[in-house]
Structure 1
Amino acid sequence: MINSEARKVLISGASIAGPTLAYWLAHYGFNVTVVERAPALRLGGQNIDVNGPAQLIAQKMGIEADIRAANTGELGLQLIGQDNQVVAAFPKDGAMSGTQELEIIRGDLVSILYERTKQNVTYWFGDSITALEQRPDQVNVTFSSGKTDTFQFVIAADGIRSRTRRLVFGEEPVFKYLGLYTAYLTIPRQKTDNDWWRWYTAVDRRIVMLRPDKQGTMRASVAFMAAEQAYDNLSAAEQKQMLKDKLAGAGWETERIVGALDDTADVYFDKVGQIKAPRWFDGRVAMIGDAAYCPTPLTGKGTTLAMVGAYLLAGELASHQDYQAAFVAYEKRMRPYVEAVQKLPPGVPWLVYPRTQLGVSLLNTVAGIVASKPVQEVFGLFTSTKSEKESQEDEIVLPDYQ
């Protein structure tokens, strides 16, 4: 185990990967500081899943009950047709539902993790790393506030656009664009809303979704296919206008979303892609979560990778005398799992973004057939009879670190 004099760790990013890592490092006796560029916790965001091995980690952390209490209450997935009719429904307890057992709003999980760690971890908000100088026995860190400090290790957990990653790895990690742009925002709930995840496919390669939360609002998302550089460097106002133009004539609830754009600052807009990094550590600096291996929301595994990577990295640092050996062991355990998660089915995402009305109708017809009771019953015959815990552990082995 790394000796007690070499336990001062700085983590950049207070979303999910960072606080999860902070919890486990503090649990093993490290002195942990988390620096977050935002002035406070960023509690916005959309639905995320705490599934597979992440659920086991949540159990180990004692936060599973908190996650269940914050469950969105989502009933399952409904595909909506051009006349606002339900063309296919996949209930939560069905064999092919996209809604998971532990469905939670991203910001709610961030809050749970913060509350679980704030007594044993130091949080610095409104600051960020601007320079890193690696020495044989420490890393000298300069912050945007002007202060400086030294740490034995620095971990980048600050997301897909990680600034900390760039300071150390430069352009070595590659952003693999998947042909999509997406926008998320929170909108007022209406009487006509329900607790289903509603998915509407429009012509011209556009998808609009509405999902429930526990705050009495709805989480809206818009996704569309476009060239990679099509909407780079837009201001917030330009992004909103572009989204209004993109949604024009799309039908269903799009006019409602257009109206909400003017009344909210809670709009996240970005490209959809994966981070491919040939290595996850350099000297005393390492990275986890989206900064190292973002799988995209298309996989439904971003939170899982964040929590698993945090658990493994902390455990390996606690188990090794040599930090380089710890980093190597972390990557050896984690990389095969990441590569498996990042593999997308053939035709994704293009197959579900039809250009024409005929294509939309065909997609909805196929979805209706798949959702039918006979097909669901047949599909159920081929689903695993293993227990949930056994299925989770099959995905990746989580050692019980001491």
Structure 2
Amino acid sequence: MKVLISGASVAGPVLAHWLHRYGFEPTIVERTPELRHGLGGHAVDLFSSAAEVTRWMGCWDAIDAARTRIDSMTMERFGRRPVEVDLSRMYAGISSSHVEILRGELTRILYDASRDTAEYIFGDSIASLSDDGSGVDVTFDSGTQRRFDLVIGADGLHSNVRRLAFGPEEPLRRWLGGYLAVFSMPDIFDVGNHTLAHLSVDKLVGIYGVHQTGQTRSGFLFRTPHELRYDYRDKDEQKALLVKEFSNYGWRVPQLLEHLESAEDFYFDSIAQITLDTWSKGRIGLVGDAGYCPGPAVGGGTSLAVMTAYVLARELAAARSDLASGLKSYERIIRPLVDQSRRIGPKLMGTIIPGSPLALRLMPFAAATLAKLPTAMQRFIWSQNAVGKTLSSVNLVQPQVSQSVA
């Protein structure tokens, strides 16, 4: 059983690892010429069941060792005193297993867990797909043609596989009203293992330390009344948009923006969801952000990608040669999780990025107070909202893995 996976970030390597363990032959194609790993990307979180999946993969110790080690945050606002938040206590209240890790570090670890058992093709992409019911003929940008039993898009918010199989992105995309930008720079403010955050109505600026390099990562979240139009591959255009939005902000922003031009790991994208009703069509399927992105920075997309990639591999193995049935079973199992995850983003947009003077006044104190509550009480509070429900929606049972697929 040959499976082609497009995308080598998070969902792709996790899926490849489990497919191999279930006896499939996975191939991953990634359009970048080399793996985007190392210390790039913004910090992401693994909670609960997602952390458990990485334990079963044998990756947890490496992931835990690479965590950001940021356990506290200072929240500042114009004209108000700073508020200190104990992040370690808050994370313990959300989930019994949690780690915050740079996306590049996570990608590297997951790649290491799958590179010896999956074929990796870098610097290429899928140009066309033809599903004849018994397999999928794939033509690559390089001109190479190959046939696979199944093709899975794990290629993110702007998925190429989704575009080829399900149509243009625009009708499937729900903008949540905001944008995220991140880049690395020297630690000019001596942040260390700490986070500095500055909040105003419709804007948030954060600086957090990267202990492995001694640098810091600068993050910008902002809301706009109308959706911005730009090329998501044009970094210069995106940098210009960010400067325009924050040029008169004050605080430490002028010093941060001085390092924007030289940043090699700059990331910018809209905070948007993908709202497909189905994630498979014949022998072509989607996993992670490609199928149901819950919103960068506000929806728990990394944990969702890890969990759903594991479920997809498990259900394909259970279906044996009836791969279309396995895709449908995967959809049925994860749909409650995806539906709940979709509800997180719109709610957190108004919490993380204060949408009014009242929210700006109350949010820092609410966060600090919540972190001081006993862990059991925090977990009860979290369990009553969409975030907590999402983290516990899928009961993942440790697999008894066979090395063959009929």
TM-score range, shorter chain: 0.7 to 0.9
1:127 deviates by: 0.1
Q: CA deviation at 1:135?
A: 1.5
Unaligned residue ranges in structure 2 (runs of 5+): 381-387, 401-406
| Between 130-139 and 149-158, the greater mean CA deviation after superposition | 130-139
**1:132 Cα shift?**
0.4
Gapped regions of structure 1 (runs ≥ 5): 1-6
Cα deviation, residue 280, structure 1: 0.6
Residue in structure 1 matched with residue 385 of structure 2 by the alignment: none
1:27 to 21, 25, 29: 21
Mark the CA change 1:34 to 1:352 in structure 2 (over 3 Å): closer, same or farther.
closer
Distance 1:324 1:63 in 2: 30
Q: 2:259 maps to which residue?
A: 260
1:82-111 Cα deviation digits (max 9, x unpaired): 269522423312478789831110000100
Kept in 1, the 8 Å contact 2:295–2:345? The answer is: no
Structure 2 residue matching 1:154: 3-state secondary structure = strand
Q: Which residue of 1 aligns with 2:217?
A: 219
Question: Residue by residue, what CA displacement relative to the aligned partner does 1:196-249 show, whole Å, maximum 9, x if unpaired?
Answer: 22221135x221111222322211111211245423238432322222221122
CA distance 1:371–1:279, change in 2 (3 Å): closer
Q: Distance in 2 between matches of 1:297 and 1:22?
A: 23
Aligned to 1:3: none
Q: Does 1:142 align with 2:139?
A: yes
Structure 1 residue 332 and structure 2 residue 328: aligned? no
Q: TM-score, normalised by structure 2?
A: 0.87
Partners of 1:341 and 1:71 in 2: how far apart?
A: 24
- Distance (Å, rounded) in 2 between the aligned partners of 1:324 and 1:196: 47
Contact kept in structure 2, 1:79 and 1:364, CA below 8 Å? no
Distance in 1, Cα, partners of 2:257 & 2:93: 29
Query: Following TM superposition, by how much is the alpha carbon of 1:303 offset from its aligned partner in structure 2, in angstroms?
Result: 1.1
2:228 matched to 1:230?
yes
Q: Partners in 1 of 2:270 and 2:345 — Cα distance?
A: 19
Q: How far has the Cα of 1:401 moved from its partner?
A: 4.0
CA RMSD of aligned residues (A): 2.8
C-alpha contact 2:182 2:220 (8 A) present in aligned 1 = yes
CA distance in structure 2 between the aligned counterparts of 1:231 and 1:371, rounded to whole angstroms: 34
Distance 1:238 1:90, change over 3 A: same
Cα pair distance change 1:244/1:84, threshold 3 Å: farther
* Conserved 8 A contact 1:25-1:32: yes
Q: 1:298 to 1:111 in 2, by over 3 A?
A: closer
Q: 1:372 to 1:123 in 2, by over 3 A?
A: closer
1-structure distance, mates of 2:17, 2:66: 20
In the superposition, the TM-score normalised over structure 1's length comes to: 0.88
Q: Tell me, what secondary structure is at the counterpart of 1:102?
A: strand
Find out whether 1:382 has 2:377 as its counterpart: yes
Aligned to 1:79: 75
Classify the secondary structure of the residue corresponding to 2:259. helix
Q: Is the 8 A contact 1:48 1:300 kept in 2?
A: no
String of CA shifts for 1:5-64, please: whole Å, max 9, x gaps.
Answer: xx1110000000000000000111111110000001112210011111101101110110
State how many pairs are aligned. 387
2:301 counterpart residue number: 302
Preserved contact between residue 80 and residue 88 of structure 1 (Cα < 8 Å): no
Structure 2 counterpart of 1:382, one-letter code: M
Residue 194 (structure 1) aligns with: 192
**Structure 1 position 147, deviation (Å):** 0.6
Q: Is the 8 A contact 1:76 1:97 kept in 2?
A: no
1:1-400 maps to which residues of 2 (within 5 A)?
7-43=1-37, 44-82=40-78, 86-94=82-90, 101-171=98-168, 174-190=172-188, 192-203=190-201, 205-213=202-210, 214-233=212-231, 235-321=234-320, 322-344=322-344, 348-350=348-350, 353-354=353-354, 359=357, 362-371=358-367, 380=375, 382-384=377-379, 394-400=392-398
Question: C-alpha separation between the residues in 2 aligned to 1:217 and 1:312?
Answer: 37
In 1: Cα distance, 2:127 partner to 2:378 partner: 50
Shift of 1:376: 5.2
State the AA in 1 paired with 2:377.
Answer: F
Provide the rounded CA distance (Å) in 2 between the counterparts of 1:392 and 1:65: 24
Report the Cα distance in structure 2 between the residues aligned to 1:300 and 1:68, rounded to whole angstroms. 22
The amino acid of 1:167's aligned partner reads L
Deviation at 1:191, TM superposition (A): 5.1
Inter-partner Cα distance in structure 2 for 1:175 and 1:246: 23
Matches of 1:380 and 1:27, distance apart in 2 = 37
Give 1:76 shift: 2.8
Corresponding residue of 1:4: none
Query: For the structure 1 residues 230 and 335, does the alpha-carbon distance in structure 2 shift closer, same or farther, using more than 3 Å as the test?
Result: same
1:25 to 1:89, Cα distance in 2 relative to 1, 3 A: same
State whether residues 34 and 122 of structure 1, in contact with CA within 8 Å, keep that contact through their aligned partners in structure 2. Answer: yes
Give me the identity figure in percent.
Answer: 33
